Structure 1
Amino acid sequence: MARRNWSRYPRKPFYLFVGPWVLGFLLLTAAPMVYAFAVSLTNFDGSSPRWRWVGLRNYVELLGDDDAWAALLRTIGYTAIAVPLSVAGSLGLALLLNRRLKAVGLWRTIFFLPSVVPVVAMAIMWKLVLNRDAGILNSILSVANVPPITWLVDPMAFYALIILTLWGLGGGMIIMLAALQGVPPALEEAARVDGASRWKVFRHVTVPMISPVIYFQVCTGVIATLQIVVQPLLLAETNSISGVGQVPQSTHLYMVQAYQEFFVSNRFGYGSAMLWVFFVVILAFTLLVQRSSRMWVHYEVDSDAER
């Protein structure tokens, strides 16, 4: 049988299709990052033309900034709690809505809708819900004779932020639901025939089959959660977003601290240094998750065996 001759595609269509992405990456990502790094080596305040080159002084100062390190530790702690709860909650909802239920499409829509609400509207809505005097949550708790809870100040502000984060589980639920529906029913049925319980089928068949999707959820969740900034600012009991100094200490995360350096202290050089260091931190956590995936993520095709 004659071997089929494959003709090589012309280069012009390739560059035509990738050109918009490459152009957008260079102008909207690469160039701003280079500019931010250059600013981090100066004492630029955002408006005054009187700025000068300071070299690595901002980075040296950052190493001794106790407030920045405390904010970073709070951010890591928040991520360590929010990401597992988000992934587990998304998977739990997906398992619940993967069954043959009445009006299952309606229930899926109801749980998915919060994830498409703009983050600013969501934060303002929850700020009203969690209000101590007029919030609906305290009104419900008052029926059980629970005294009003000040959700938006320490120490409850941290839990309020967790509630706000978990309210948008619908997006992850849809991804998990798609993964569950891609699991071959024959594998689960074979495990049941061999005497495996539902828990063992879920643990040894379902979870390994959807582990690449779980890995995707964990990786993107870590990146997004570490960078959270709008929600803590809007949940703070202030009249405007510029009142970042009144953000409770428990929700004063690293990006909130960077925001304060930029728009409250007008230290654009120091704030840019903070962001570049945070970029390295996020990259390190992402690589850590990626390396750990070798121990618990299972693919249908073993790439190592193929090589």
Structure 2
Amino acid sequence: MPTVIYAYDPLDRLIQTAGIRRFYNGSRMTTEIEGTVQRSVFQVGDQLLAEAGTGGSNLLATDLQRSVLHTVNPDKTQPMAYNVYGHRPADSGVASVLGFNGERADPVTGHYLLGNGYRAFNPVLMRFNSPDSWSPFGNGGINCYGYCGGDSVNRVDSSGHFFLAALRKAADSFWEFYRAPTGMHIKATSNYIKLNSDIYVYEQLSKKGQRKIVFDAHGDFENGALKVGSQDSPVSPDKLINLAREGGIDFGKYDAVKLMICHSAEANFAQQVSNLTGLKTKAFKGWSEVVVYFWLTSAPADFKSGKSIK
């Protein structure tokens, strides 16, 4: 059996396999080079638009889950079809560097290396090849090999760790997220943004008409310190808010902050978020549904000057 070697960068992103090099913008692959052949993907946010390379350029037609269904160029239109778990026959040809759910299939095995190479998903076996480090007690779910809880039509998993409910109505742009460890479902959300590979933010409208900005990430204690996001590169409250601002979040548009982060009501994390944003902040204590509210205790900080805003 041949051996395939995979190489990763310091951010755990797959950068080379079988002589193919990959380049990224954040968590999204932008360019792939194999010998003298180069292919680049153009996208805005999560929307795939086109692909350009040595052999020419193609417009990409996708569905709501980013699966490439057609490639279009001046010469022809080539359709792409998958089964519900993303499998494509080997003789169907490769029309685009990306495929099912906007993911790149490994050119050697045909498996999808989700999370930029974190875990290989086998569309033939309809499961992952290796267990999830977040299972069975964390966000990964009870089945450490399962993909999208057995529902690949209505759910997507781009991280290799946990699934999200797929976007159902393009006009509304509403998302219904995965069931968080707190046991709560998040509904009626919009403007979903991925700040990095481990932290997500979106808007939520309450029944009373209040606009909330919601942060969704993994949180856990290690050696007495709260780690939010990646266990290797956790973020502080300052870093979290700066990431949001860099992602275009204007806290002046919202009435409150909600932290869908385990233990976020502890270690003064939520209080610092409230102080930095000037907004009432809702956080969670431990893994339970115990909710703690925090209010501003001082003037919110000006990130550029470090001074308080009066």
TM-score bracket for this pair, using the shorter chain length: under 0.3
**Which one has a larger percent helix, Structure 1 or Structure 2?**
1
When normalised by structure 1's length, the TM-score is 0.23
When normalised by structure 2's length, the TM-score is 0.23
Q: Which has the larger radius of gyration?
A: 1
**Which one has a larger percent strand, Structure 1 or Structure 2?**
2
